[in-house]
Structure formats: C-alpha cells, structure tokens
Amino acid sequence: MSGDHCPPLTRESIQEKIDQHGCFIVQVPADNYLPAFAYTIGLHQRFNHAEIICFGLSLELMASLLNDACDQIKNGASFTTSILYKGFLEDYPVQFLLVDPAYYPYYPAAGCYFYKHASFPSLQLVWPDKQSHFPWEPDFNSDWHRKQPLLDRDADFMFQEEKNVAVFTTRQVLEGKPILYAYHDEDGDWQFHSEDEPLEEDIKLVALSAIVEIDPGIVAIHHLSYGQRAWRPSAADKWEWE
C-alpha cells in the first residue's frame, strides 16, 4: 500500500482545504481484505492536535465523524486516550488510541506526504459493537474484529489474521533461504516462498507468526489484497507487488 491510496493532490491543494475547513479528509475505500478508512490532515498543523483516523464504517459516516471532531477541536476541545466520548455516534460512545508511527506508511500515508515526515501524532477513533464492547474487550463481537485494525499495538505483526493461522511456505525457507515471493490467494491463504515456483514436495504448513519470526520485514506486505502477489530480488531489496 504505502501511499498507493494517496489522492492525486498537491500539498498546495491540501493546504487550501485545511485553510478553508480546518483539515483535509482522505477517504480510502475497502478492498477484499482491508476495511475502509478515513483520516485527517491538518489538525496538527492548525490546532497542534493529533490527526485522527477511523476504520470500518461507511466512508460517508467516517468523514462525518472526522468533520465533527475537527469542529470540536476548532472550538477548543482536545481528545485523548482512555476516555469515553459521547456524541459522535447515536447511543454509543467512542474511544481514542494513540497510533504507533510504524503504521504510518500503510495507513495515513498522505499525511506523511503532506508533512514531509512521520513525526506528527495521530489518534485512532474506535467504535464499539452493538453491546458497547470495544475491540480489545473479551466480549467484543468476534465477527467485527477485522473491521478495525488497532494501530496502537502489534506493530511487529500487522496482519489481519490471528498469529496462529496456518500459512504455506517451503522447506527452503525453513532451512534459512530468504523469502522472495509472497502470495495472498483469492481464498485468503498466504504463501511465502524462496522460489517463484516451488516443488509440491517442498511445501510446508506453519503458523503465520513463525514466518514473521523468520523475517520480521514481511509485515511490509501485510496489506496485500486477496489475489495479489509480491516479490523482491533479494532480502535487501524492497518489496514490489501487484
């Protein structure tokens, strides 16, 4: 991903919207793997407030929530973590999490483009399920877990799947060869190989966490949609994907 979703805008055009409205809102549609999300650019510049990102609702609703937050910040409000905020969603409170900057290249990438760095603070607006349970609480609706990646944690494991989900690799990878090819199959299975076309007898099944332990840099392609593949000439090169 890493900026693929950035709109064809200049810093000047983003700045114009910030000057007019207090912030610019980037809206990123869902694909077949990651949920839709939206985030602000300009709250830090105009109000010295953290930028805000939200996942998993309709783009229209998320834009409305972010505009509401911007209006409150204009009027002197300030949002922080570990507090229940009412008034954003009818009948439901929301909370904010402090975003780990390790996620910036994959989610608020246009903010990095605008600011020319990744040292600005960001908060994630998190909404609960219909029983008012939040994603980190044990009773949260398990069917909704993938709607909101929690960007304050697990920066060393950014995948949507559980750590123990089974993935395909090869004997060569387990013996120390670098992972140079990755596939996220149409059915959701992950494959990580050292050869473009591994032999069937070399295929092994391991936990996704084992692959991340072998090559922590594999999280750079955690965002691959179903049906996408990634490759690199060597372990020292950056990943490319399609």
- pLDDT (0 to 100) of residue 8: 67
For residue 203, what pLDDT band results from cuts at 50, 70 and 90?
A: very high
Q: What's the pTM value of the predicted model, to 2 decimals? A: 0.92
For residue 1, what pLDDT band results from cuts at 50, 70 and 90?
A: very low
- pLDDT (0 to 100) of residue 7: 52
Does 4 have pLDDT greater than 50? Answer: no
pLDDT tens for 118-172 read 999 999 999 999 999 999 999 999 999 999 999 999 999 999 999 999 999 999 9
pLDDT tens for 222-236 read 999 999 999 999 999
DSSP labels for the chain?
A: -TTTT--S--HHHHHHHHHHHS-EEEEE---SSSPPEEEEESHHHHHS--EEEEESS-HHHHHHHHHHHHHHHHTT----SS--EEEEETTEEEEEEEPPGGGTTTSSHHHHHHHTSS-S-EEEEE---TTS--TTSTTS-GGGGGGS--TTS-TT---SS-TT-EEEEEHHHHTTPPP-EEEE-TTS-EEEESSSS--GGGEEEEEHHHHHHH-GGGGGGTTPPTTEEEE-SSTTSPPEE-
